[in-house]
Amino acid sequence: MPSYKLYKMLHLGAIVLICMTTAGLAFHAWLGGTKESAGGARKALLALHGVGMLLAFVGGMGAGAQTGAISSEHGFQSWVHIKIALWFALGALPALPYRSPRLAASLFVVVPLLVAFAAWVAGGFLPLTR
C-alpha cells in the first residue's frame, strides 16, 4: 500500500504535468499556431495531459484516504468536492487554447491562480495568516 508521501508526490508531479502540457498547447496557440500545424506534438501533449489527469486523481484520492478526508464510513470531507470540481476544470483546459490566442495567453495567469486556490483548499481551508 503506497504511503501518504508517495500519493502526494504522485499528485503534485501529475499537477505539474497537467500544467506543462496545457502551457505547451497555450504557447503554440498564443503564437498563432493551429491544431493542424501542431500535428503530432499536440496529440502527444493531449496524451500526457490524460496521464496527468489519471495520476492526479489517483494521487489525490490516495492521499485523501490516507489522511481520513476520504473514507467509506464518512464519505468525502467538504473540501474534497471542490477539489473534484477543480480536477474537472483542469480536464477541460486543453480545449481552450486553440479557441483564440487571447484566451491562450490568459491561461498563463488563470492556471497558476487555479493551482494556488487548489493548494489552499487542500486539507480544509486553513487560515492564510496567523
- Confirm or reject binding of residue 49 to ligand HEM (CB under 6 A): no
* CA 86 distance to own-chain centroid: 7
For ligand HEM (CB under 6 A), the number of binding residues is 24
CB of 98 to ligand HEM, least distance (A): 21
- Cα distances (Å, whole numbers) of residue 77 to 6, 22, 64, 83: 21, 29, 9, 11
**Distance between CA 41 and CA 28 in Å, rounded?**
10
C-alpha cell at 105: 495567453
Find the angle CA(93)-CA(83)-CA(25) to the nearest 5 degrees: 15
Helical ranges in 31-100 per DSSP H: 35-67, 78-92
- Confirm or reject binding of residue 114 to ligand HEM (CB under 6 A): yes
Stretch that binds ligand HEM, among 29-37, 39-47, 63-71, 98-106 (CB under 6 A): 63-71
- Confirm or reject binding of residue 14 to ligand HEM (CB under 6 A): no
- Confirm or reject binding of residue 80 to ligand HEM (CB under 6 A): yes
- Confirm or reject binding of residue 93 to ligand HEM (CB under 6 A): no
Q: Which residues contact 27 (CB under 8 A, 6 or more apart)?
A: 104
- Confirm or reject binding of residue 15 to ligand HEM (CB under 6 A): yes
Point out which residues bind ligand HEM (CB under 6 A): 8, 11-12, 15, 56-57, 60-61, 63-64, 67, 69, 80, 83-84, 86-87, 90, 114-115, 118-119, 122-123
